[in-house]
Amino acid sequence: MVAKKIINNFSITIATVNGSGSQTANVTLLRALFKMGIPVSGKNLFPSNIQGQPTWYTIRLNKDGYTARCDGPEVVVGMNAASFTHDLASVSPGGAFFYSDDIKQPITRTDISVYPMPVKVISRAANVSPALREYISNMVYVGVLAQILGIDMVSLKQALYFHFKGKAQAVDSNFGTIDASARWAAENLKKTDPFFAQPMATKSEYIMADGNTAAALGAIYGGVQFAAWYPITPASSLAESLNIFLPQLRKKQDGKATYAVLQAEDELAAIGMAVGAGWAGLRAMTSTSGPGISLMSEYSGLAYFSEVPIVVWDVQRVGPSTGLPTRTAQADLTSTYFLGHGDTQFVILLPGSVQECFEFGWKAFDLAERLQTPVFVLSDLDLGMNQWMTKPFEYPDVPMDRGKVLWEKDLEKLAGVWARYKDVDGDGIPFRTFPGNRHPAAAYFTRGTGHDENARYTEGAENWEANMVRLKHKYDTARTMVPKPAVSNMKGSELGIIAFGSTEAAVREARDIMKKKKGLKSDFLRLRALPCTKEVFNFIQKHERIYIVEANRDSQLRQILSAVMPDQARKFRPAAHNDGLPLTANWIQDAILSQEEK
């Protein structure tokens, strides 16, 4: 079989048992390929389980920089007897299948290259304790793949060094197994597949990180002072990252902290604590996923109505209900936008990359405090938990905006005359004071019940309506402050595409495919926030047909945009789909072309 070499343009799926330590091996492969300068992405498809269930990890190498999940895979590693039949069948024709040779199941394919690996034999030879043997056995496929595909050994060692934080013993024992396996493969396997990983000379301006770490770091550079959270997949690692980095970045020399992170008893309490802290003048946040957002509904309404700044990160997973807790979706948009009873409107930020998770991490606090309102940031499992190539984090380019706050000296100038809910500046945003302000006129009483401009209780019809109208006006002010969309046009295109969040890479690739294969040009608006800024209105007005691409069933962004711009709604065409997996470029172009060709 002499096939044309396929270099840096294929995907690898590794099938393992969860809890077996394969993540270290998989991320090591991903990082080594990244170090070789090859554009690469890794996606972990894992079960809601601690140990023993099938799990898959997919790595895509693409010399052109397309890093969305793709169809395939061309290369499959079968380490799990339970999913062996499925994994073997999943290999693309002409692909390669590596498997642990202690799995005694029939190889029914003749259209692919097959490589048995003596995983048990090699890992038994490794100089490690029996307890570590299972972990180290995953390094066998790393070594064999390295030999057959051409993955650089130095890069692998760098990846291990990073993973084990420089602990020599761990690096050496893992690398020893990789090296032994590579040598075994060199002596015993004959390469018959066409897939090669080759170093690329691209100057790497990228780093590799996950969105939850980026979000936590962004929050830290945004001056987060209080975070309360409750464990939930896929959001837990966001708060855990705060716990890792805050002590390093935000402790004084005497060891005293400028922050507090508290694991609450539930999501009701997590947001309640954030509201208390935000009310009292701290930059306060919580992080959760869809089920947590449901529980946070009542407090969100209170914070909206009593005008308390908080930041809520929703790392979305598949719902409703417990749903698919370890799979990704963009399906909390509608519920978050309309969260709470009565008339509410929330500011929502939609990061589309790991770097943007960092950026919105700090920006969200500026917006929340400026607008005195909850700001939701909707990430997702794919963005939050997977490792992505991303541009380095950029230090905030503007000073912190603490919003309209009156301290003692301000109140002295005003001779103590002020009103908590009075729109002094015409932007719908009033002034506020914090507990601890010793001016005798500083205090006011905050409530979720009807109040007048002085925060006094009233059931007055006019007071109620005037306040709600002001809040609506404030939301219009938000429209001028939230991040503008990212727009990318192709000259002469009539077609518009709107998407948000983690689908960016797949949409970019789909547009290129449609242009190349069908000559179909498209303009792309990646929405970065709600409410819609004027750029969004302009984009929609300029295009006759607009596909709205999103990872949910009900085309939620289309629903919202239709409500915001009812006169434009006829233009909107859904391209919505969710099966728990990140969207692929192929699916997107099919969804668009099938409607275009009608």
Partner 1 sequence: MTTPTPTGQTNKAGLTKGDYRGFPSTLCQGCGHNSIANQIITACYELDIVPENIMKFSGIGCSSKSPTYFLNRSFGFNGLHGRMASLATGALFADKNLRAIGISGDGDTASIGMGGFKHMVRRNAPIVYIVENNGVYGLTKGQFSATAEVGLNLKHQGTNQYMPVDICMEALASKATFVARSFAGDAKQVKELIKAALSHSGIAVLDIISPCVTFNNQDNAFHSYTWGKDHEAPLHEISFVPALEEIELVGEFEQGSVREVTMHDGSTIILKKLDKDYDPNDRANAFQTLENAQMNNWLLTGLIYIDTTRPTLTDIYNLVDTPLNRLTEPDLRPAPETMDKINARMF
Largest CA distance in the chain: 89
Q: CB 75 → partner 1: shortest distance, Å?
A: 22
Distance in Å, CB of 411 to partner 1, minimum = 12
Helix H or strand E encompassing 6: strand 6-7
**Closest approach of Cβ 434 to partner 1, in Å?**
5
CB-nearer residue toward partner 1: 277 or 560: 277
Phi, psi of 445 (to 5 degrees): -110, 120
Smaller CB separation from partner 1, 60 or 327 = 60
Between 19 and 403, whose beta carbon lies closer to partner 1? Answer: 403
Q: State in angstroms the smallest separation of the CB of 274 from partner 1.
A: 6
- The first and second tokens of residue 272, run together, are 């309640």
- Shortest gap between Cβ of 55 and partner 1 (angstroms)? 22
Q: How far is the CB of 28 from partner 1 (least distance, A)?
A: 10
Q: Which CB atom, from 346 or from 388, has the smaller least distance to partner 1?
A: 388
The secondary structure element, H or E, covering residue 77 is strand 75-78
Q: Which residue, among 56, 94, 62, has the nearest Cα to 75 in the 3D structure?
A: 94
Strands 195-196 and 6-7, by their bridges, are parallel
238/576 with CB nearer partner 1: 238
Q: How far apart are CA 332 and CA 533, in angstroms?
A: 21
Q: Determine the Cα–Cα distance for residues 598 and 295; give it in Å rounded to an integer.
A: 43
Q: CA-CA distances (angstroms) from residue 390 to 136, 483, 581?
A: 29, 19, 21
Please report how close the Cβ of residue 204 comes to partner 1 at its closest, in angstroms.
11
Q: Which residues of 61-73 are buried (b: 16+ CB within 10 A; e: fewer)?
A: bbeeebbbbbebb
d(CA 38, CA 61): 7
Q: Which is nearer to partner 1, 165 or 491 (CB)?
A: 165
Distance CA 351, CA 209 (A): 14
Whole-Å CA distances, 139 to 135, 156, 463 = 8, 11, 68
Pick between residue 389 and residue 560 the one whose CB is nearest to partner 1: 389
| End-to-end CA gap in the chain | 42
Rounded to whole angstroms, the Cα distance separating 42 from 209 reads 11
**Judged by CB, which is closer to partner 1: 302, or 324?**
302
Q: How far is the CB of 456 from partner 1 (least distance, A)?
A: 8
Strands 75-78 and 96-100: parallel
